[in-house]
Structure 1
Amino acid sequence: MKSFDHLNYPYPSRRTTTVANRGMVATSQPLAAQAGLDILKQGGNAIDAAIATAAALTVVEPTSNGIGGDAFALVWTKGKLHGLNSSGPAPKNISIEQMKERGYEEIPKFGWMPVTVPGAPGAWAELSERFGKLPLTDVLKPAIDYAENGYPISPVLGKFWKMAYKKYKEVLTSDEFKHWFETFAPNGKAPEVGEVWKSPGHANTLRSIAETKAESFYRGELAEKIADFSNQYDGFLTAEDLADYKPEWVDPISVNYRGYDVWEIPPNGQGLIALMGLNILKGYSFKEKDSVDTYHKQLEAMKLAFTDGKEYITERNHMEHTVKDLLSEQFAEQRRAEIADEALTPEPGTPPKGGTVYLATADAEGNMVSFIQSNYMGFGSGLVVPGTGISLQNRGYDFSLNPSDANALEGGKRSYHTIIPGFLTKDNQPVGPFGVMGGYMQPQGHLQVVMNTVDFHLNPQAALDAPRWQWMEGKKFVVEPHFPNHIAEHLVRKGHQIQVELEQGAFGRGQIIWRDNDTGTLYGGTESRTDGSIASY
């Protein structure tokens, strides 16, 4: 990746692109980035660094992820891209009928009903076993140290922690939630910026995961504690659900966009939406970034891709249409033909038959990792397994209780998943990992980052700093305050409903590492909308 336009960019980057050649870690929290870099300097590779960073993030950014969440990874090593789906299924004994019998018309956000099997510890162990160089006990040491000895709260982290505490204090009033407050508000309030917070239980859990290669989490002492906690409050998650879990290695999916292959994890993830959007947009030629025509076509393509994704994406063996169908040229042409000069109200097409953290790592050997991990909706379910620091995810909230929906709840089924890592290659050579976390913003962020890079030749930092937009529903989009006002006004005249959103968290948080394969030089960009940091050497 060489064709960066470092100059003449109308929205100055809040940071400069980081350049290094021996190793790089980009993520949303400086202490976690440093943890990954420490592992690289100890002789670990990019995979070890990714695991170390991910584990550290469960401690230093618990507002977005935790040990009880899910993870996905794209790993470039020895000339090949590998995909890992480490999302967990719904408990085997749960069903729509049982939810209805308990009085639920939809799955709640908090408590035991939306809890699915956590996949993150399994991802760390699986990646370490297959591609790591250092023992998992060494790789998790930085995270254990942060949990045991504490760290000071950073500004953006403190903001989201306080917001979560205020909300949870109002809605999490029953007994099963008390352990969340004991863990994350030990003094009866959220920790202040600069205050040192520690979690000894979290440290002990990470140590157990490291020493047993996650066996204790799925088939040992930690599994028993999780299952006992579930049983105490009539949850569906059982020791059998945990014991039967194993991450899945998958073949990544891609589209070729102007000579670059854009890679995503296949469903149950929503990365397919980004690829469908790019597949529609590659039929156009874009001369400039900040034009009404460019934005109009982007908005329309994303609406169509997202509408199709929400209609069809779920676990692969439950999908009515295949990935090949949804990424076919025929379907892209069909959807492209629907884009006119005025904003449309999207409806699903008919294909032919046939709270999150993100990190990127790279090392001098050529290994590169795109990794994403989440509890969903910030802290997740509001449940913390007593004495362990394990904050359980609420990923099951995305299931539907309508039996006819593609993503209908079933025991043992994985839900439509929002977290997605991305990767870019060209001519079968790695360009690098990228990602934008943040719920349904993620595929929209992927599309914008790819176009900023490929169509408009922006360097990694500028590609991230560029003003973002997000489709919400129908014709409604929200844009950042520094989105060009004159373009927003023109888009309104085309029928789009444009609103300025002041909350930075609405537009995701991204990271990029690109490699120049001729020189081995790494170029990194990190999110200016959070406490993002790049550690490199």
Structure 2
Amino acid sequence: MRDLHLPGRSAVWAENGMCATSHPLAAQSAIDILKQGGNAMDAAIAGAVLLGICEPQMTGIGGDCFVLYSRPGEQKIRALNGSGRAPAAASAASLRDRELSQVPLRGPEAVTLPGAMDAFCHLSAAEGRLGLDTILAPAIHYAEAGVPVAPRVAFDWAKDADALQGAARRHYLLQGAVPKVGDIFRAPGQAEVLRRIARDGRQAFYDGEIAEDMIQALSDRGGVHTMDDFAKVAAEATIPVSGAYQGVDLVEHPPNGQGATAILLLNILKHFDIAAMDPWGAERVHIEAEASKLAYDARDRFIADPDHTSRLDHMLALETAAKLAALIDPKSTIPLPATASEAVHKDTVYITVVDKDRMVVSLIYSIFHGFGSGIASEKFGILLQNRGAGFSLQAGHPNEMAPNKRPMHTIIPGMLRKNGQVIMPFGVMGGAYQPTGHARLVSNLYDFDLDPQAALDAPRAFADKGVLKVERGYVTAVIQQLTDLGHKVEIPDTPLGGGQAIRLHDTGVLEGASDPRKDGCALGY
């Protein structure tokens, strides 16, 4: 239990249903859907789509999603890949011919097809109860009436507003200015899009005027996307991957997501007595940082479109982790070159819902960097993701950009399972940080016996491209010790990610936790 003398938040406890996410209006809307008779999938979709209005710099209907879920009474965890592909005319060679070594972050070359809306429509039909007209109603309402800009959202908006270009500046600035805390943001164009989807389903988004509006915004900038590309978008059921740590199984979405990286990272950490270390000391941070370097190097070599990921078994093998762990020196840093990971970003939303029948949903939804590509459609104001920046331009690389191919994704929903039963859906946002965030959360829970809220509150560190980013929650002495070990330590302006979790107790009670780094909360009833 936390020290009640100190600032902080308690976990939320309820019996009938629970939602944890990064904005209170989305959490409230999800609970309202449950009270209307919807199930966890209905509620998760309703909340997720609304998050695109509440946090437009993080996500939106021009983005992608990944989902893990389990049906009531089943032990099986199902996965759905809602990530879009590159257009049929995409070409790494053409970018290399322009003497580019990376996909431009804010150009049409980085825009992959938006996959989330197809996934939401599919999941609503296959798993939901209420129908699109009901579950999209909260987002339609707030897109029209407006949402007061929350503090963390305002911080991110100001930081990323320079990415906005063309029509996006009209749709996502208020009379040319960045919205401030408490200003009302409206998205009437998106309200109309959602009304049409509620009435006509996915074809309203992927065919006709709405798709034409998105394609025109891209083609005006030299994009090669076509109506046929949009029409072919289709979410795909996949098989989760998992690994054991301290008596629990960490379950992750398979590639093209980077969830296998978190499993590899924990497999490496098994070779060290983490539980004997000071949880907020330099020794733990150092071992985690060195293990992360190795795990992310493997990620950048192996993870790609599932049709091109051929060494996943090798990445998840315990023998691989043992060999990597042997490279770690507790007294100094590994002289690895900076890995090829994408630029760090914090722009993703996560929502988890558990209903009274114990359907469990873990859903993550993103447009990649802040405001995605910065390109929005003229009429409807749909921001388009820049997930294509996750491709490699290296010839022959498994993750090389190619026609109709999915890029490596950073977003990963997670679940914990014990004795065959789901015990916690969770997510830790933060772009490239996410595998480290998943591993640290699991370690906080099972090496140090923290409750979910304390595990999310705890300070974070992240080794990325030669720099060890350390939050201000670490004391000066720890930072000095890390510097003495050879780390280049920086304190980032933006905290590392954000997280949400719901623990299912054997008593039938739900415990919800929500990261104070975001504006959100856990709510139950």
Please say whether Structure 1 and Structure 2 have the same fold, judged by a TM-score greater than 0.5: yes
How far, CA to CA, are the matches of 1:521 and 1:135 in structure 2?
A: 28
Match of 1:243 in 2: 231
How far, CA to CA, are the matches of 1:444 and 1:12 in structure 2?
A: 27
Match of 2:342 in 1: none
Match of 2:242 in 1: 254
How far, CA to CA, are the matches of 1:324 and 1:465 in structure 2?
A: 33
How far, CA to CA, are the matches of 2:39 and 2:310 in structure 1?
A: 40
C-alpha contact (below 8 Å) 1:259/1:426 kept by paired residues: yes
Q: Does 1:500 align with 2:491?
A: yes
Match of 2:290 in 1: 300
Match of 2:343 in 1: none
Match of 2:429 in 1: 437
How far, CA to CA, are the matches of 1:254 and 1:12 in structure 2?
A: 37
C-alpha distance after superposition, 1:15-46 (max 9, x if no partner): 11111111111111111111111101111111
How far, CA to CA, are the matches of 1:243 and 1:458 in structure 2?
A: 47
Rate the CA distance shift 1:287–1:147 in 2: closer, same or farther, 3 A: same
Match of 1:178 in 2: 166
Q: Note the residue ranges of structure 2 that are not aligned, 5 or more in a row.
A: 340-346
> 3-state SS of the aligned residue for 2:319?
helix
Rate the CA distance shift 1:12–1:117 in 2: closer, same or farther, 3 A: farther
How far, CA to CA, are the matches of 2:108 and 2:412 in structure 1?
A: 24
Shift of 1:104: 4.0
Q: Does 1:49 align with 2:43?
A: yes
C-alpha contact (below 8 Å) 1:311/1:348 kept by paired residues: no
> 3-state SS of the aligned residue for 1:404?
coil
> 3-state SS of the aligned residue for 2:353?
strand
Shift of 1:296: 2.6
C-alpha distance after superposition, 1:112-165 (max 9, x if no partner): 111100011012111111111111110010000000111211111122222222
Partner of residue 419 from structure 2, selected from 427, 433, 448? 427
Shift of 1:294: 2.8
C-alpha contact (below 8 Å) 1:27/1:359 kept by paired residues: yes
How far, CA to CA, are the matches of 2:242 and 2:87 in structure 1?
A: 31
How far, CA to CA, are the matches of 1:473 and 1:67 in structure 2?
A: 31
> 3-state SS of the aligned residue for 1:127?
helix
Match of 2:18 in 1: 24
Partner of residue 407 from structure 2, selected from 373, 391, 415? 415
How far, CA to CA, are the matches of 2:481 and 2:172 in structure 1?
A: 46
Shift of 1:412: 0.9
C-alpha contact (below 8 Å) 1:514/1:522 kept by paired residues: yes
Partner of residue 373 from structure 1, selected from 346, 365, 377? 365
C-alpha distance after superposition, 1:226-265 (max 9, x if no partner): 2333334331111111111100110110001111010111
Shift of 1:221: 3.3
Rate the CA distance shift 1:501–1:228 in 2: closer, same or farther, 3 A: closer
Shift of 1:356: 0.7
C-alpha contact (below 8 Å) 1:13/1:461 kept by paired residues: no
C-alpha distance after superposition, 1:303-357 (max 9, x if no partner): 1111111122111222341x221111111111111122222123799xxxxx111
The correspondence of residues 8-157 of structure 1 with structure 2, limited to 5 A, is: 14-78=8-72, 79=74, 80-101=76-97, 104-157=100-153
**Segment of structure 1 superposing worse, 179-188 or 242-251:** 179-188
Q: Does 1:479 align with 2:470?
A: yes
Q: Does 1:401 align with 2:401?
A: no
Letter in 1 for 2:323: Q
The correspondence of residues 204-353 of structure 1 with structure 2, limited to 5 A, is: 204-285=192-273, 286-288=275-277, 289-321=279-311, 323-341=312-330, 342-346=332-336
The aligned length equals 513
Rate the CA distance shift 1:439–1:186 in 2: closer, same or farther, 3 A: same
> 3-state SS of the aligned residue for 2:110?
coil
Letter in 2 for 1:216: A
Q: Note the residue ranges of structure 1 that are not aligned, 5 or more in a row.
A: 1-5, 350-354
Partner of residue 384 from structure 2, selected from 392, 397, 415? 392
Shift of 1:12: 5.7
What is the TM-score of this pair, normalised by structure 2? Answer: 0.94
Letter in 2 for 1:338: L
How far, CA to CA, are the matches of 1:426 and 1:226 in structure 2?
A: 44
Rate the CA distance shift 1:306–1:12 in 2: closer, same or farther, 3 A: farther
> 3-state SS of the aligned residue for 2:109?
coil
C-alpha distance after superposition, 1:381-414 (max 9, x if no partner): 1111122131100111121222133321111111
How far, CA to CA, are the matches of 1:302 and 1:106 in structure 2?
A: 23
**Segment of structure 1 superposing worse, 106-115 or 240-249:** 106-115
Shift of 1:107: 1.6
How far, CA to CA, are the matches of 2:419 and 2:38 in structure 1?
A: 28
C-alpha contact (below 8 Å) 2:53/2:147 kept by paired residues: no
> 3-state SS of the aligned residue for 2:307?
helix
C-alpha distance after superposition, 1:180-209 (max 9, x if no partner): 011111411122221222111110011112
Match of 1:352 in 2: none
> 3-state SS of the aligned residue for 1:180?
helix
> 3-state SS of the aligned residue for 2:77?
strand
User: C-alpha root-mean-square deviation of aligned residues, in Å?
Assistant: 2.0
Rate the CA distance shift 1:463–1:360 in 2: closer, same or farther, 3 A: same
Letter in 2 for 1:41: K
C-alpha contact (below 8 Å) 2:214/2:376 kept by paired residues: no
How far, CA to CA, are the matches of 1:328 and 1:103 in structure 2?
A: 38
How far, CA to CA, are the matches of 2:422 and 2:71 in structure 1?
A: 10
C-alpha contact (below 8 Å) 2:27/2:47 kept by paired residues: yes
**Segment of structure 1 superposing worse, 231-240 or 448-457:** 231-240
What is the TM-score of this pair, normalised by structure 1? Answer: 0.92
Rate the CA distance shift 1:500–1:106 in 2: closer, same or farther, 3 A: closer
Shift of 1:13: 6.4
How far, CA to CA, are the matches of 2:428 and 2:281 in structure 1?
A: 23
Q: Does 1:363 align with 2:327?
A: no
Q: Does 1:202 align with 2:193?
A: no
> 3-state SS of the aligned residue for 1:118?
coil
How far, CA to CA, are the matches of 1:536 and 1:335 in structure 2?
A: 42
